[in-house]
Chains A and B, each alone.
Chain A
Amino acid sequence: MATTETIQKVSALEAEKYRYGFTTDIEMDMAPKGLNEDIVRLISMKKEEPEWLLEWRLKAFRIWQDMPEPTWQKPHVPQIDYQDVHYYAAPKKDGPKSLDEVDPKLLETYAKLGIPLKEQEVLAGVEGAPKVAVDAVFDSVSVATTYKKELEAQGIVFCSISEAVKTHPDLVKKYLGSVVPYSDNKHACLNSAVFTDGSFVYIPKGVHCPMELSTYFRINAQDTGQFERTLIIADEGSYVSYLEGCTAPMRDENQLHAAVVELVALDDAEIKYSTVQNWYPGDENGKGGIYNFVTKRGACRGRNSKISWTQVETGSAITWKYPSCILQGENSVGEFYSVAITNNRQEADTGTKMIHIGKNSRSRIISKGISAGRADQTYRGLVRVLPGAEGARNFTQCDSLLIGDKCGAHTIPYIESRNPTAQLEHEATTSRISEDQLFYCLSRGIGEEEAVALIVNGFCKEVMQTLPMEFAVEAQKLIGISLEGSVG
């Protein structure tokens, strides 16, 4: 009796630790494992892509083949067997016409994730309730897009990138690869060759997108790496807030995720891009877990344009990404707010790049890193001011918190200035949770783990405040869950 109870209790704990660890069985249409020109052609053919896109993919593939793996990063990246991955997997059925046609199992998946689509439709009907449009990515192909009509009325395009290739070929051709070229780096190159889906957003001139646009990425089928491609274009005077949230099923096989996100902000436009990343981090001993190697870059092309990145990174075995801003426009603004939590054997090498080209361009970087267990975390950032960036300003703050004496926290900022009117400030600190704060909480009857979560949430406050409401609550909970087992 007691044994049964214990087993139940333990399995309940295990499930809580990784709440989103489940697999949905839906029939898959899968390409054979491996990568070669034929696979690239197959993907392009399956997507019914125009000739120029196939050529673009093939160019990327050829460069990728000759490009060596990067070696400068801090995390220990095991040799990746690119031939042991399926590069194409799509749900077999044809695209559903409405939510009713969507596989009920898929809807169930979203329900578990806490984003039931139907409920959101209902929610939207409620006066004053926040509106969230979901372009759900189930493995590699978008299967449901809600709110499309409402957005269409304002001329907003929010669809899968494959659809955009067909419906808005000129926009895609003009902007795809214009921020992250297909030859950018090993993983972006791979993505360019084999990307299967992702989101496309176009906000027309002067339009303030009336709702938060959201994509839930979810890696589902065994061994399918995800190669999402996101392209967001904010035309003159427009505004959009985009949410990206990620969860993945629990399993042992390491999975590669090499996404590319490109943002383009024209004159007076603003893009706010928020991410909560909670992919499977591997178990306590570092077995399994996702490799999250993402290239995210925004171009502030226009005058007074603004791009703001906010990320809460708690998952993945290895997180390796630098959401960046190219501040080309006069008075353009770039922001990067980041919370990264690594526990157990997780590794993260993340940060940002702010390239100041335009006059009076400004950037702000707030990075909070929390390392626990045997984890290792690095902030790596670049602030570069080119000679023409008259009056450029940057402020950078990187704080690291260490929990336990077996983890590591590192800060590697590069600061380069070539304009005498530019002002750059960088500060960084590393410390552990203050004994006083912990004692204060404990003496008020708060448990140790809860106290740590509370203190860490306070440490991250500046970043959490920049998250949209929908994400803030979930992200706060995540911080607590991610740090479980890190004290005592």
Chain B
Amino acid sequence: MTGILQDLLRQRGASGRFEAEEALPTRKAEQWKYTDLMRLEKIGWSLWLAEDSHGVTRLPTVLPGLEKTIDIVIVNGFLDRDLSDLDHLPAGLSVEAGPAAEAWGDDFTDRLSDALTQEEICIRVDAGKTIEPVVHLHHVTWGADDEAAIAHAARVVITVAEGGEACIVESHAQVQGRGFSVPSLGISLEKGARLGLYSALLDSAGSAQIGLADIGLADGAVLDSFLLTLGEGLTRRETRLTMAGERAEATVAGAYVGSGDALIDNTTFVTHIAENAVSRQFFRGVVGDRSRGVFQGKVLVREGAQGTDGQQQHKALLLSREAEIDAKPELEIYADDVQCAHGATVGTLDEDQLFYLRARGISEADARALLTRSFLAEAVEKIGRTAVRDVFQAVLTARLGGVTE
């Protein structure tokens, strides 16, 4: 018995870059110190293969109120042409599906993604084009029944050519059954390109997601990104950002709410290679019940990346006695003309603020809800696109109603 990893590789019929006896990483591995993958082991995941057919007929509304979108639907890791808007794409935008190429690194998540991915979906924004409507990437898991446990891996490669601009929203949710998904996202922003990338990770309890976003920015490229994680199972997103171009700017913001037995892991790795680039990480999280929030953020400033401005902030609230927050904000700096800072706090709601609200006749419960919402709103406000911001805020507020102390 070699565990779920070897089982999935057998189903795939290839072992990729894994050793014969290799298993999922344990907490002894520094990168997985706070995220225990053992909960995946007890489940008999079946890998979704190209020849399998699903029964999704219409899309669930996961982000109510999101208007004017170009829908691209990925079911169990494969592009669904019938559900997607491929026939009405605006000029300058193309979407194609083909065999997957190799991923970007040698980490466990890269290798896992490589081994399980069967299709690569390429989205391209042509040079100088601005795609006005929001492109919505729907990732959905569908199983034959509620008991089904489906493993799948989708890969989306996005290229925004020189001077191009687009806004992409991705959502992850289950239609039926539970999923173990390994989504990977490769993004290349060429010179002066601009991308808004807003992700909502909404997997249901019992599901798991180990995701990877590998993003490269060329000269003057601008990334505005946000990760809303409300997954009730195990949700890990690794965001790897390479500031390869001068004066590139990136915002990686996020908010998460943990409830039930959720484990939410935001792992970021920002590498500054070019001069005068700016990166901002801004995360806010709330964990209740028996849930756990993990933040591992790293800023690496390579030799020669002078003039770097790298900021990182993670603040979290613990709402229950059985919840836990683990943070590891890391700086590794090899250039001297830099301004780098990080801040991390873990705590509870401010008693003075609570008292202030109570003194004005607001009930304890309402006061707590209000303060929690505004705490998270500080992160949501970072979303540059107003329409998306409002939708994400509404989804977050709805979820907060269900978190108990």
Contact = CB atoms under 8 A, between A and B. Distances in A.
Interface of A: 72, 385, 387, 400, 402-432
B324 A416 contact: yes
B336 A417 contact: no
Given A72-B30, A417-B318, A428-B331, A422 B336 contact: no
B342 interface: yes
A420 B333 contact: no
Given A410-B333, A414-B328, A425-B347, 20 more contacts: A400-B331, A400-B333, A402-B333, A403-B336, A404-B336, A405-B303, A405-B304, A410-B331, A411-B329, A413-B344, A418-B324, A420-B318, A420-B321, A420-B348, A421-B348, A424-B344, A430-B339, A430-B340, A431-B340, A432-B336
B337 A428 contact: no
Contacts of B303: 405-406
B372 interface: no
Contacts of A432: 336-338
A407 B344 CA distance: 25
Nearest to B293: A417
Given A405-B306, A419-B321, A430 B338 contact: yes
Q: Is the interface of B mostly helix, strand, loop or mixed?
A: strand
Given A407-B336, A408-B333, A417 B328 contact: no
Interface in B316-348: 318-321, 323-348
A422 B346 contact: yes
Nearest to B311: A429
Contacts of A413: 327-330, 344
B331 A430 contact: yes
A424 B295 CA distance: 14
Given A424-B345, A428-B342, A419 B318 contact: yes
Interface string B60-100: 00000000000000000000000000000000000000000
A423 B348 contact: yes
Contacts of A411: 329-331, 342
Interface residues of B, number: 34
Q: Is the interface of A mostly helix, strand, loop or mixed?
A: strand
A139 B306 CA distance: 46
Contacts of A421: 348
Contacts of B328: 412-415
A430 B329 contact: no
A318 B318 CA distance: 39
Contact of A431 (B318, B320, B334, B338): B338
A430 B344 contact: no
Contacts of A414: 326-328
B346 A424 contact: yes
Contact of B329 (A419, A422, A423, A426): A426
A75 to B, nearest CB: 14
A410 B337 CA distance: 15
CB-CB nearest 9 A-B residue pairs? A402-B336, A420-B318, A423-B347, A415-B327, A411-B331, A417-B346, A432-B336, A426-B344, A430-B340
B152 to A, nearest CB: 33
Contacts of A407: 334, 336
A421 B339 CA distance: 33
A405 B307 CA distance: 12
B334 A415 contact: no
Given A417-B318, A424-B346, A431 B339 contact: yes
B345 A387 contact: no
Nearest to A408: B334
Contact of A416 (B325, B332, B343): B325
Nearest to A424: B346
A420 B304 CA distance: 42
A483 B88 CA distance: 66
Contacts of A430: 331, 333, 338-341
Given A413-B344, A431-B340, A432-B337, A408 B30 contact: no
A410 B340 contact: no
Given A402-B333, A405-B335, A426-B345, A417 B340 contact: no
Contacts of A425: 343-345, 347
Contacts of B325: 415-417
Among A411, A416, A417, chain B packs the most CB atoms within 10 A around the CB of A417
Contacts of B346: 385, 415, 417, 422-424
Contact of A429 (B304, B337, B340): B340
